[in-house]
Copies of this chain bind each other. A is one copy, B any other.
Amino acid sequence: MTDPIPPFSAAEYDRRLAKARAAMAAQDLDAVIATDPSNQAWLTGYDGWSFYVHQAVVLPAGGRPLWWGRNQDANGAKRTVDLSRTDVAGYADHYVQSTTRHPMQDLAARLSDMGLGAGRIGVEMDNYYYSAKAHAALSEALPQATLLDATALVNWCRAVKSDEELGFMRRAARITEKIQRHAIERAAPGLRKNELAAGIMAEGILGVGEDWGDYPAIVPLLPSGSDAAAPHLTWDGREMRDGEATFFELAGVYRRYHVPCSRTVFLGDPPDHIRRAEAALIAGLEAGLDAARAGNQARDIANALGAEMEKAGIERGARCGYAIGLSYPPDWGERTISLREEDETVLEPDMTFHFMPGLWMDDWGLEITEPIRITAEGPAECFCDLPRELIAKP
């Protein structure tokens, strides 16, 4: 099999650049510097594990996007972007982790060459990998430019998915189902958590048929018992035990598109308080899915869930979901819309979310979640076909 490079059609990238440029025009920006690797990939197709050094895609209001990064990674850019549409520029290796030079000095010179030296330039102040020092160095090297906060400007353009993107997410969802079923089947007293994590990771990367699996932006999370009170503990070498709940928060990934989903396995007979929480959670999910309609607001989903939680006397205190799609470590969320009381974003068809009402109590945890797509007419479509319940394995 051969995959197209970059993965989407030229028309799809045209659509994306036009959307980003419209958002830039609304802020009267001459260019945006995207330092978030997911924005770089979305704009140009660039794909590589090189985001640990400074790199960016510069999107000027007119003209071609520029991929900019370390010299050795320009080789990767040339292999992952369409060179008839994207320019590629590398900086010398002595800029890397130097105490006397900063890569942003190199970028500043290129921006000046592009006629942007005195421009209004959007920078992603609070996206990943745009460090405080990067901003200071760029500001100093471009004294005539005006640097404006464009945090999440490109991320917001990604909220509504195209048909091509939804196709990728459906492939990812098949991988998600596969690894959830794998985890649920294997879970048993005496199984070491790292053995379970190894299997999940391998099955995810193997993928489904021709659809090879990509690496997830967050590793499999699978804490047990009291540790399940902490949502982001990673595995260790301890064995699974009778009488404990373990949640599996896992994402299948197809070419960087993530479909995260959680299920919980209880080894043995679940105690009443967990069964009660399960019932409330399922009722809350159903209410939330019904509220997840185009025209409603993001908070309507949170409020529908919240009403069921309140009836059951459960206090959550955290948002219950976030936008999903194309992602790189350290996060598989898009960092735009949050499903919570204060988020008034109006839902549109083909927005995609992880509806994620995790329960992390003092000494136990329970996760039953649904990755969803907002539809034009009805309640949300769930990407995954998995039993919406706590799985008890006696």
Contacts and interface: CB of A to CB of B under 8 A. Distances in A.
A105 to B, nearest CB: 13
B206 A234 contact: no
Given A102-B126, A198-B213, A329-B330, 19 more contacts: A50-B231, A75-B229, A75-B360, A76-B230, A76-B233, A79-B226, A79-B227, A79-B233, A97-B322, A97-B338, A126-B132, A128-B129, A131-B132, A194-B205, A194-B212, A194-B213, A198-B204, A212-B236, A330-B330
11 contacts: A49-B218, A72-B230, A92-B317, A93-B340, A96-B319, A102-B126, A128-B129, A130-B131, A135-B135, A198-B202, A198-B213
A99 to B, nearest CB: 8
A212 B238 CA distance: 9
B126 A51 contact: no
Contacts of A73: 230-232
A134 B201 CA distance: 33
Interface in A20-50: 47-50
B335 A230 contact: no
Interface in A310-338: 317-319, 322, 329-331, 333, 335-336, 338
Contacts of A360: 72, 75
Interface in A216-242: 218-219, 221, 226-227, 229-238
A252 interface: no
When A and B form their complex, which 5 residue pairs have the shortest distance between CB atoms, in order from nearest?
A212-B237, A126-B133, A132-B135, A76-B230, A52-B331
Contacts of A135: 132, 135
Chain copies in the assembled complex: 2
A2 to B, nearest CB: 7
Given A73-B231, A230-B48, A238 B133 contact: no
A65 interface: no
Interface residues of A, number: 87
Interface in A175-228: 192-195, 197-199, 201-207, 210-215, 218-219, 221, 226-227
B125 A133 contact: yes
A136 interface: yes
B230 A206 contact: no
Nearest to A149: B133
A76 B198 contact: no
Interface string A1-34: 1110000000000000000000000000000000
